[in-house]
Amino acid sequence: MLAYSTISHLGFILLALSVSTQSVESTQAFIFYLIQYSFSNLNVFIILITIGFSLYGYV
């Protein structure tokens, strides 16, 4: 599910770069979205690893 989500979000990231007039706002939108997506994706993986380690004792 995360792989399909990454492909979808990559389209949004490239959309900010493909604006016909390369303005400062499009570059700022690209950097903001890239940082925001990286931060949220990292949090999802940390939560999944934490759940995995908490369930490891039951195995």
Return the percentage of the chain with pLDDT > 70, whole number: 93
In the chain, domain spans: 2-56
Q: What is the pTM of this model?
A: 0.70
Give the pLDDT score at 23: 79
22: tokens are 């390369």
Rg (the chain; Cα; Å) = 16
4: tokens are 């399909």
Per-residue pLDDT tens over the stretch 13-49: 888 778 766 778 888 888 898 899 999 999 999 999 9
Number of C-beta neighbours around residue 3 at 10 A: 7
Q: Mapped to the 3 state alphabet, what secondary structure does 3-33 carry?
A: HHHHHHHHHHHHHHHCCCCCCHHHHHHHHHH
* Identity of residue 1: M
